[in-house]
A = this chain, B = another copy of it.
Amino acid sequence: MKWLSGAVLAVLMAGSVQAQTIVATGDLGLVVERASGSLLLVDQSDRSAIGRIEGLGDLSHASLVYSPDQRFAYVFGRDGGLTKVDIAEKRVAKRIVQSGNAIGGAISDDGTLVAVSNYEPGGVRIFDADTLEPVADIPTGSKTIGLVDAPGRRFVFTLWDAGETWIANLSSGAPEITKITGMGSNPYDALITGDGRLYITGLFGEDGLTALDLWDPAPAPIRVLPEYGRGQQELPVYKMPHLEGWARAGKAFVLPAVGHHQVLWIDADSLAETGRTQTHGQPVFAMSRPDGRHVWVNFAHPLNDTIQVIDTLTRKVIHEFKPGPAVLHMEFTSRGHEVWVSVRDAGKVMIYDTRTFEKRGEIEADSPSGIFFTSRAHRTGL
């Protein structure tokens, strides 16, 4: 009889475990805990942490992307580590070290390929998203940066040393490469617009930026803001701004100025500058609230305790506050009602209402940096 109750108990217990293993991942996210090489799994709806995944290696400057079903995250570590994390089971599903020094990655629009951008050896390596088995190796002979996904099973990336952008099209198996030369001196980062049409690189070696129209069958470099950049800088550059932090707000792009206490407004069609807004410090991220009405800006050291909010109609700062020491990143909920803010030296992620600016919650985290919500799975170029 004891065995029988044991059996019944096992079934009952298994039943209860089963109910708990339904994990709806649409409102989850991962926070990079750089110092400890771990990821904090968070739930937007409950404004809480629901787990921690460890053993991710060097997570300085780490980023990640999600599988289309929002069950798996692919984490790109600075040490060349590529880790597939199962957020439903809260564990590392697979981990490889694919190079000696990497900088970011992307997932193809069909969710089947994961690409990583490498400094050493320079190039891009592409892996099967399911198994992490290698699919293609594209050596470039250069540090390779600004890797993004583009529609049509393509990846776009840029060569720091050669000043070239390459488009790798994997729609029919082996990569077909299109090379665009003359992108400028030492491109250091790039972005792609949400519609996958415009690819823009920031330059370290000269002023200005360079854009490509990926709808053009033979894209040619388009010079943008030729007077913009480090050349005219009035202040030392504490941190190069993140190009992924550019915001699209209605008809304008909002761009953190390099070395200035300003954000720049650029017309999305002509790519001409249309104005500047003075800010508290050197901007690092200028992030558009999903509706495009407000832009939230954080700043480089030593002014990195502050956030300013700019109205995109008036282009004026309408709100300023100090979440705490070392505000590193901001992530909006997908429809923009709240924003999550990493405050590294407070050891917290703070959550704010984006309309009243009231604090709605906070979560303990170990030196939090990047915040990545699973809704990124459904967007191009994130």
Which residues of chain A have a CB within 8 Å of any CB of chain B? 3-4, 6-7, 10-11, 13-15, 17-19, 21-28, 44-45, 66-71, 88-89, 109-111, 149, 151-153, 171, 195-197, 215, 250-251, 269, 290-293, 313, 333-338, 355-356, 374-375, 377-380
Q: Nearest B residue to A293 by beta-carbon distance?
A: B215
| Complex CA–CA separation, A355 to B170 (angstroms) | 13
Contact B215 A71 (CB under 8 A): no
Contact B22 A14 (CB under 8 A): no
Chain B residues with CB under 8 A of A334: 68, 377-379
Contact B251 A269 (CB under 8 A): yes
8 chain-A/chain-B pairs, Cβ below 8 angstroms:
A7-B7, A22-B22, A24-B67, A26-B67, A26-B69, A27-B70, A110-B333, A196-B291
Q: Nearest B residue to A15 by beta-carbon distance?
A: B14
Contact A25 B70 (CB under 8 A): yes
Contact B71 A22 (CB under 8 A): yes
Contact of A3 among B7, B149, B196 (CB under 8 A): B7
Specify how many copies of this chain sit in the oligomer. Answer: 2
A-B pairs with the 9 shortest C-beta distances? Answer: A14-B14, A26-B70, A24-B71, A334-B378, A7-B7, A3-B3, A24-B69, A109-B335, A375-B378
Contact B335 A378 (CB under 8 A): yes
| Complex CA–CA separation, A335 to B338 (angstroms) | 24
| Complex CA–CA separation, A293 to B18 (angstroms) | 44
Given contacts A7-B10, A45-B111, A251-B269, contact A70 B377 (CB under 8 A): no
Contact A336 B109 (CB under 8 A): yes
Chain B residues with CB under 8 A of A377: 26, 334, 375
Interface majority SS on A: helix, strand, loop or mixed?
loop
Chain B residues with CB under 8 A of A153: 337
Contact A151 B68 (CB under 8 A): no
Chain B residues with CB under 8 A of A375: 377-378
Contact B88 A24 (CB under 8 A): yes
Contact A378 B378 (CB under 8 A): yes
Contact A379 B71 (CB under 8 A): no
| Complex CA–CA separation, A26 to B72 (angstroms) | 11
Chain B residues with CB under 8 A of A67: 24, 26
Contact B26 A23 (CB under 8 A): no
| Complex CA–CA separation, A329 to B298 (angstroms) | 43
Contact of A337 among B4, B14, B28, B110 (CB under 8 A): B110
| Complex CA–CA separation, A204 to B223 (angstroms) | 48
Contact of A27 among B14, B68, B335 (CB under 8 A): B68
Q: Which of A6, A215, A291, A375 counts the most B-chain CB atoms under 10 A from its CB?
A: A291
Chain B residues with CB under 8 A of A7: 3, 6-7, 10
Chain B residues with CB under 8 A of A290: 151, 195, 380
Q: Nearest B residue to A151 by beta-carbon distance?
A: B291
Contact B379 A197 (CB under 8 A): no
Chain B residues with CB under 8 A of A378: 26, 334-335, 375, 378
Contact of A45 among B45, B69, B196, B269 (CB under 8 A): B69
Q: Which of A26, A70, A110 counts the most B-chain CB atoms under 10 A from its CB?
A: A26
Contact A26 B335 (CB under 8 A): no
Contact A14 B25 (CB under 8 A): no
Contact A337 B151 (CB under 8 A): yes
